[in-house]
Amino acid sequence: MRSGLLLAFLAVAYVGVPLLFGGMDYVMSLVIAALTIAGIAVAWALLGNLGGLVSFGHAAFFGVGAYVSALLVMDHGWPVLTAMVAGGIGAAVASLATMPALRLRGPYFALAILAYAHIFKILAVEFSSITGGARGLLSIPGFPTILGLDLASKTGAYLLILSIVLAWMAVYHAIRRSTWGLALRAMHDSELATRVVGVPSTHLKAVMLVVSAFMTGVVGAFNAHQISFLDPEYAFSGTWTVLPIAAAIFGGYRTVWGPLMGALVVYLLDQLVFKEIMPSGHQLVFGVLLGAMILLSPQGLMPLLARLGVARPHRATAGVAASQATPPQATEDSNARA
């Protein structure tokens, strides 16, 4: 995205949205929820695109981060923002337990991570002396006031989660452009070939898993302090896996901006439009929309906008699109004529 468009987006996001919708608590709540999903979607895309690992268990990292942060504040008096970072670290540490699943590939890895999510949920219920069990945690302290800005307000919470999501996108972008990112993308073509030339593929995947878990854990911690309530059913709900995956795929998880745009479009359309039209079956319309996007543009919304001239494609995305647009046979024929 060009610098001018980026500055315009930041101006609208940080100034325009609070000015236009700051007094509409319901709308701001929906935007905060969409950005929460976007934060997990970016973390999922980081693991899925660069790590090459499809996860069905990010709810595990979300729940662990939420519980660690809430308990540190409630039981040990930690500052909320510091506890949120600790929640991310807790989720990253929890991800170490899933490392044996890295030996698996494809759907087997996805199902293994899903099993870990259920294990963490059961642990949260059983260790009731620490987590409150099925009853959950009530009256979790909210965000503080910093420099006159009440982060516990809708506007303050919006600015906080927006900053978190943009920070995760910056991390995603930086890793993509690094030598690690180059090695990870090469692994998509042939992991065996990259191992032959000395690339520690399993190590790199493990790093991506830990980073992705940390990101998700911080978002989970934010959500816990934002709603001031937590229980195992909510913290480890499959919603925190399904919606981010749908948002990332819809927006284009191979692009940096795709997960954010996908989450905003998917969630806000579902809540503000589809839910009003079909209160009891709005998920059906959402499913049709997602299916249509997969058929029309398998790479997601952002590459589609790039083809329509609305957005400039990322170099990697443009290269993929170009390679798909030129059939191998056509290339061989042109070489033969030459």
Output 203 or 185, whichever has higher pLDDT.
203
Res. 333 pLDDT band, cuts 50 70 90: very low
**Angstrom distances, CA of residue 24 to CA of 20, 150, 184, 254:** 9, 16, 43, 34
- pLDDT for 65 equals 97
Sign of the four-CA dihedral 226, 231, 235, 238: negative
**SS3 per residue for 17-61:** HHHHHCCCHHHHHHHHHHHHHHHHHHHHHHHHHHCCCCCCCHHHH
Digit-coded pLDDT (tens) for 221-250: 999 999 999 999 999 998 898 889 988 888
The enclosing H or E element of 209 equals helix 201-227
| CB within 8 Å of 167: residues ≥ 6 apart | none
| CB within 8 Å of 140: residues ≥ 6 apart | 70, 73, 74, 224, 225, 227, 228, 229, 230
Output 73 or 273, whichever has higher pLDDT.
73
- pLDDT for 63 equals 96
| pTM for the whole structure | 0.85
Of 89-93, 110-114, 315-319, where does mean pLDDT reach its minimum?
A: 315-319
Res. 304 pLDDT band, cuts 50 70 90: low
Compute the mean pLDDT over every residue in the chain, rounded to the nearest whole number.
84
Of 112-116, 178-182, 188-192, 204-208, where does mean pLDDT reach its minimum?
A: 188-192
* CA triple 122-127-133, angle to 5 deg: 75
For range 286-306, the mean pLDDT: 70
Of 136-145, 199-208, 246-255, 317-326, where does mean pLDDT reach its minimum?
A: 317-326
For range 326-332, the mean pLDDT: 40
Strand spans (E) along 51-144 = 137-138
53 and 208 Cβ atoms separated by less than 8 Å: yes
- Separation between Cα atoms, residue 32 and residue 75, nearest integer Å: 27
- pLDDT for 158 equals 96
